[in-house]
Amino acid sequence: MGLSRPQQLPADRPDPDIGSGVQFMARRRKTFLELASIKDKQFFCSWSGGKDCTLALFRAVNRGGIPNTLLTMLTEDGTRSRAHGLPLSFIKSQADSLGLSLVTRSTSWDDYEGSFISALAELREGGIEAGVFGDIDLGEHREWVERVCAEVGIEAYLPLWKEDRKSLMTDLLSYGFNAVIISVKDGTLEQDMLGRELNQKLVKELDLQGIDVSGEAGEYHTAVTSGPLFSKPLPLRTKGKVLRDGYWVLDVE
């Protein structure tokens, strides 16, 4: 298996913009208890191929969870990831480098929930006890993942929940993950952002532009090409850019 136990996570840092100290500590305690309870459990990771799911996977492994499978939802024709538009071949390369199996479902947005639950049922039958998700603070999505996981008896874990965005980016980069911007929302970010590798300079640049540095509202998406969980770096070959569903996207081979 390509995964190994990473170094210990740094102490949690408070976010001055997140609300009262009492509310913050309550949320952090919930997240800590979630991560503590994943110890020794077989889990799948909801996988887009990007930075947030990678950091969530890293933290779950660090807390003693046993990674088993990546779950990726694909477009109807089964060629690209539904979330980020990455080719299935690249997602497979990520799974191989991580030493994990890959489960996929081809689906439309209308049939997404049913297809997702079908995949969860397959994973539960295979002994998976928990699911790891890279959401940060979209409450409706947290409610959704907890509900669909509960339907098949899987526990949902959100290791990044309510963390400060800049701190998450600092953690991702300090651990040595490499992430490349592969799509930007048309009218929100310039096309010249495509292909740029995330680093502290770019994070500051996004912040100065008033862009959520984590891209939680879909301002941009990334593809992770290497890092401490990967057995080898992955080439990201592109052949130009295309406008797809309101996003300028690198056409990844």
CATH number of the domain that 72 lies in? Answer: 3.40.50.620
pLDDT at 19 over 50: no
**What is residue 240's three-state secondary structure?**
strand
**What is residue 157's three-state secondary structure?**
strand
pLDDT at 26 over 80: no
Distance of CA 140 to the CA centre of its chain: 17
Give Cβ neighbours of residue 24 (< 8 Å, ≥ 6 apart): 14, 15, 18, 162
User: For residue 157, what are the β-bridge partners?
Assistant: 132
Q: What's the pLDDT score for residue 12? A: 38
Give Cβ neighbours of residue 13 (< 8 Å, ≥ 6 apart): 164, 167
What predicted TM-score, i.e. pTM, was given to this entire model? 0.85
User: Which of 14-23, 44-53, 78-87 has the weakest average pLDDT?
Assistant: 14-23
Task: Report percent pLDDT > 90 for the chain.
Answer: 78
Task: Report percent pLDDT > 70 for the chain.
Answer: 86
Residue 252 falls within a domain, yes or no?
yes
Q: What's the pLDDT score for residue 234? A: 96
Residue 169 falls within a domain, yes or no?
yes
Distance of CA 232 to the CA centre of its chain: 19
Q: What's the pLDDT score for residue 14? A: 36
Residue 237 falls within a domain, yes or no?
yes
Question: pLDDT, tens digit, for every residue of 120-169?
Answer: 999 999 999 999 999 998 899 999 999 999 999 999 999 999 999 999 99
Residue 41 falls within a domain, yes or no?
yes
Q: What's the pLDDT score for residue 11? A: 36
Give Cβ neighbours of residue 106 (< 8 Å, ≥ 6 apart): 74, 75, 76, 77, 78, 115
Question: pLDDT, tens digit, for every residue of 72-114?
Answer: 999 999 999 998 999 999 999 999 999 999 999 999 999 999 9
Q: What is the mean pLDDT of residues 32-52?
A: 85
Residue 5 falls within a domain, yes or no?
no
Q: What's the pLDDT score for residue 231? A: 97
Q: What's the pLDDT score for residue 216? A: 86
- Give the count of domains, the chain: 1
Backbone angles phi, psi at 115, to 5 degrees: -65, -40
Residue 175 falls within a domain, yes or no?
yes
Residue 9 falls within a domain, yes or no?
no
Q: How confident is the model at residue 239 (pLDDT cuts 50, 70, 90)?
A: confident
Angle, helices 51-62 vs 165-174, to 10°: value is 70
Q: How confident is the model at residue 35 (pLDDT cuts 50, 70, 90)?
A: low
Residue with tokens 């890293």: 58
How far apart CA 221 and CA 236 sit, in angstroms, is: 14
Residue 11 falls within a domain, yes or no?
no
Q: Tell me which residue range forms the domain holding 225.
A: 19-253
Q: How confident is the model at residue 36 (pLDDT cuts 50, 70, 90)?
A: low
Q: How confident is the model at residue 253 (pLDDT cuts 50, 70, 90)?
A: confident
CB 249, CB 182: distance < 8 Å: yes
Q: Higher confidence at residue 30 or residue 222?
A: 222
How far apart CA 240 and CA 245 sit, in angstroms, is: 17
Backbone angles phi, psi at 105, to 5 degrees: -140, 135
Q: What's the pLDDT score for residue 32? A: 47
